[in-house]
Amino acid sequence: MTEVTSMPAAPAPAASTEAVVSAGVPAVSAAQELLLRAEGVEKYFEIGGRRVDVLRGIDLEVRQGDMIAVVGRSGSGKSTLLHLLGALDPPSAGTITWLGRELGSMDDEQLADFRNRTIGFVFQFHHLLPELTALDNVIMPALIARKRRAEVEERARWLLDRVGLGHRLDHHPGELSGGEQQRVALARALVMGPRAVFADEPTGNLDAATADEIHGLIEELNRETGTAFVIVSHSAELAGRMRRVLRMNQGHLESETQEAA
């Protein structure tokens, strides 16, 4: 097989997504394009008839190419926030506007399609499909988007090569180490050319050296693809190298860096 050197393009976005992009983009430089804005976002859960307030008014902007760490103690609402920003779960109050379009205005099918084309996720436990090879796991989101395999296979191979697994394409998740599985999950999150990747403790169950390696890889992919990353982490090492660090505290998001939240 010929060596893949430059990044193959992500599958072309659907016409509807293109329309959303051009309609919602404010006149700022491309490097700072506003991806999402959360305004007054609240989230509560009813547990045994009692209301538990988790997010109490979150305002946040994520722009193209951002690298944002979200830190905070266990139970402070970091995963909840990521699920809302990633359109997996609706807020109890407030709005989340993605590329100029409020998520609350989309029905379930539109949301699923939007997520698939625009957003990537990496979870602490990779959620790879055990019966599929590494390559097929990476290609899967494109098949869900009804792309033909031929359209995305080159990019999937490139991404796996990029995360250092070019020699493991045919391995199943059970035949890969924890760090290798997380690298497959990272490649999978990027296969559709998402605008943002939300990663929830992506290295939480890895040793420090492997975690460090994956953080470095995320930084390189951020630079190369312009994809924004929002990463929940307990790792002080990761938070220390991120341009923007936000702390969840008592349902609010506080900036730990100079830039405003």
Ligand X SMILES: Nc1ncnc2c1ncn2[C@@H]1O[C@H](COP(=O)(O)OP(=O)(O)OP(=O)(O)O)[C@@H](O)[C@H]1O
- Give the one entry of Mg ion, ligand X, none that residue 64 binds, where binding means its C-beta sits below a cut-off of 5 to 8 angstroms depending on kind: none
Binding site for ligand X (CB under 6 A): 45, 47, 52, 54, 72, 74-80
Q: How far apart are CA 200 and CA 177, in angstroms?
A: 19
Does position 203 interact with Mg ion (CB under 5 A)? The reply is no
Q: How far apart are CA 184 and CA 112, in angstroms?
A: 22
Nearest 5°: the CA angle 172, 177, 183 is: 80
> Cβ closer to ligand X: 63 or 252?
252
Q: Where are the alpha helices (DSSP H) in 25-121?
A: 78-85, 108-118
Count of residues of this chain found to bind Mg ion when the rule CB under 5 A is applied: 1
> Cβ closer to ligand X: 47 or 209?
47
Strands 101-102 and 93-98 come out as: antiparallel
Residues 6+ apart with CB under 8 A from 52: 44, 45, 46
Closest approach of ligand X to the CB of residue 232, in Å: 7
The correct pick among 64, 76, 79, 181 for binding Mg ion (CB under 5 A) is 79
- Give the one entry of Mg ion, ligand X, none that residue 80 binds, where binding means its C-beta sits below a cut-off of 5 to 8 angstroms depending on kind: ligand X
- Give the one entry of Mg ion, ligand X, none that residue 2 binds, where binding means its C-beta sits below a cut-off of 5 to 8 angstroms depending on kind: none
List of residues contacting Mg ion (CB under 5 A)? 79
